[in-house]
Amino acid sequence: MSTIGSATSAAPAAANPADSKARIANNFDQFLQLLTMQLKSQNPLDPLDTNQFTQQLVQFASVEQQIKTNDNLSALVLANKTQNLTNALGFVGMRVTANGTKSMFKNGEASWQLNAPRAGKATIVIKDANGNEVHSMTQTLAAGDQTLKWDGRLPNGQTARDGQYSIVVSALDASGQSMTVKSEVSGIVDAVDVTGSVPTLKVGTLEFPMTDVLSIRRQ
């Protein structure tokens, strides 16, 4: 892996499952009451039509089955969340590499892993956590993996504050054709968040979904 040195150039909210279950249960109870009253009040000389009664029993069974299905789905969701938590906890304390453009600047350095399909040149814009451009540089890229390092030097000669920074890479190959350069970040996972549908790994103040992880290894 080659190294690029430091440069000094300038939806509607989802329905609540508990509410949905309560509505279905209410409908179920109401249907049962209506069916019971219907049986009690029917005229013995003109009893309820057999076909209609059969259809109502089928509806009754369908509603009951829907309630049981919802209970089973809730149990599966809980089991899946528990499994996700168990899997995600295995990342804590591990060094991971993931797709991403963000990196932490601290101890005088921030770094990104770049992968260029071909050799060429790139204009790299560095932005702070608020999206403001703080620095730009022009770099020569080799084909394949390489490391971009930034020493925090700003155009005014001062050094950037510690914190989160991101990059935007615009690259051209040797023939002047535009090319896409992949950006990766790495760090030690110190926490996980499983409140969402996909566990989120936290590396300092950086956060990225577990599905973006490309590699994992011990420190």
The predicted pLDDT at position 28 comes to 62
140-150, pLDDT tens digit by residue? 999 998 999 99
Nearest by Cα to 94 from 185, 186, 184, 189? 189
Nearest by Cα to 10 from 155, 203, 170? 155
Asked if pLDDT for residue 182 goes beyond 60, the answer is: yes
Q: Which fold has domain 92-217?
A: Immunoglobulin-like (2.60.40)
At 167, which helix (H) or strand (E)?
A: strand 163-173
Q: Is 216 exposed, middle or buried (0-12, 13-18, 19+ CB in 10 A)?
A: middle
Q: Is 183 exposed, middle or buried (0-12, 13-18, 19+ CB in 10 A)?
A: buried
What is the Cα–Cα distance from 215 to 95, expressed in whole angstroms?
8
- 23 versus 155: the higher-pLDDT residue is 155
User: Would you state the structure tokens that stand for residue 103, as one six-digit string?
Assistant: 């990196």
43-81, pLDDT tens digit by residue? 655 655 666 666 766 676 676 677 677 777 766 766 666
Contact 92, 202 (CB under 8 A): no
Domain spans of the chain, in order of start: 17-89, 92-217
- 203 versus 68: the higher-pLDDT residue is 203
The predicted pLDDT at position 218 comes to 80
The predicted pLDDT at position 204 comes to 77
Q: What is the DSSP letter of 192?
A: E
108: left (phi over 0), alpha (psi -120 to 50) or beta: left
The predicted pLDDT at position 66 comes to 73
